[in-house]
Amino acid sequence: MSFISIQNLTKSWGEAPAVNDMSFDVAAGEFLALLGPSGCGKSTTLMMLAGLENPTDGQIHFNQKNVTDLAPGKRKISMVFQSYALFPHLSVKENILFGLKARHVDPAERNKRLSEVLELVDLGAHMDKKPGQLSGGQCQRVALARAIVSHAPICLMDEPLSNLDAKLRNEMRSEIRSLQKKLGLTVIYVTHDQIEAMSMADRVALLNKGCIEQIGRPEELYDQPATDFVAGFIGHPPMNLIPDEETILGIRPEHIRLDESEGISSKVVNCDYHGANTLISTKFCGHILNFMIQGHRQYPAGHTLKLNWDRGQAHYFSRTTGQRMADITQNHFMNEGLN
């Protein structure tokens, strides 16, 4: 059995279940991201792992032990929340040590861990300040320090970077990742931000309506999306999905190129300059087809462009089930447009 093993986990408050028969494993030292749109059940899953919410059904094992009914304090986990959850009247140092004091950890051991962790998160100069005197990034570091100082092998994080500005978020992403590796922590990290999930995690579980749509390495979700939902969620901008009679053709904007001789005709709707490249929206057979092109390009609306892509870059999904279809070499659009 894996270090963390989740079997048939379900949570229902009445109507449709918030978490629906979810099963997955996490290896020791692994960083797993739970990714998905708002309301898909990420936080509910994490709260059940933490013991702060009771499952309606299913089992949770940590390190071979069934913890499904165990109190949160006995699960050997730490948690980091979006809101930081710091005590405003306590100093940085007191906030970090709060849990250890509550568990009556020996003062010498407490101080040893404190100096270690202050150095790890670079807060030594601020240890006597109150949270109100710190920036958002520093508050989030205190919350991280409090998790690390517990020496719990499992750390559960719920959107820990959502309150930070973009630049700081980037810095904290790599900081959390390197701390996790250095300490060998097993992390389950909840986020709605695919860039965070893709850049930080060893594996990503993409959730939709309380179920796992796909779990795998970031490049597996990008290269081989298991469903049209995954295809439409992963990627920035997401994959173009064009329904045909029975199949959905998927093609990523970054895989489409101009091809005067053999391309299909598509009419420009809008050009968005992004700096390194331009995102061009076009209309093709009544559907929007986005593509990326390097540099600064502007075309007038209604201008006809000829677009093409490699056959190997096209994805196909069943229109009825949304499931990926293997190795279809042609469909309606291919026949009409490209042959």
**Positions that interact with ligand ADP (CB under 6 A):** 13, 18, 36, 38-44
How does DSSP classify residue 143?
H
Partner from ligand ADP, Mg ion, none binding residue 18, C-beta < 5-8 Å depending on class: ligand ADP
Residue selected from 24, 30, 43, 180 as contacting Mg ion according to rule CB under 5 A: 43
CB of 192 to Mg ion, least distance (A): 8
* Other CB atoms within 10 A of residue 291 CB: 24
- Sheet with 4-11, strands from edge to edge, namely 19-26, 4-11, 57-62, 65-66
Q: Whole-angstrom Cα distance, residue 26 to residue 24?
A: 7
How does DSSP classify residue 323?
B
Output 191 or 266, the one with its CB closest to ligand ADP.
Answer: 191
Partner from ligand ADP, Mg ion, none binding residue 102, C-beta < 5-8 Å depending on class: none
Output 81 or 333, the one with its CB closest to ligand ADP.
Answer: 81
For residue 312, what is the enclosing H or E element? Answer: none
Q: What is the rounded radius of gyration, in angstroms, for the C-alpha atoms of the chain?
A: 24
Partner from ligand ADP, Mg ion, none binding residue 256, C-beta < 5-8 Å depending on class: none
CB of 230 to ligand ADP, least distance (A): 16
Partner from Mg ion, ligand ADP, none binding residue 17, C-beta < 5-8 Å depending on class: none
CA atoms within 13 A on the CB side of 58: 23
CB of 282 to Mg ion, least distance (A): 36
Q: Whole-angstrom Cα distance, residue 302 to residue 300?
A: 6
CB of 229 to Mg ion, least distance (A): 18
Output 189 or 309, the one with its CB closest to ligand ADP.
Answer: 189
Closest CA relative to residue 125, chosen from 135, 151, 175: 135
Stretch that binds Mg ion, among 38-46, 74-82, 130-138, 146-154 (CB under 5 A): 38-46
Tokens 């709605």 belong to residue: 192
Is residue 282 part of the contact set for Mg ion (CB under 5 A)? no
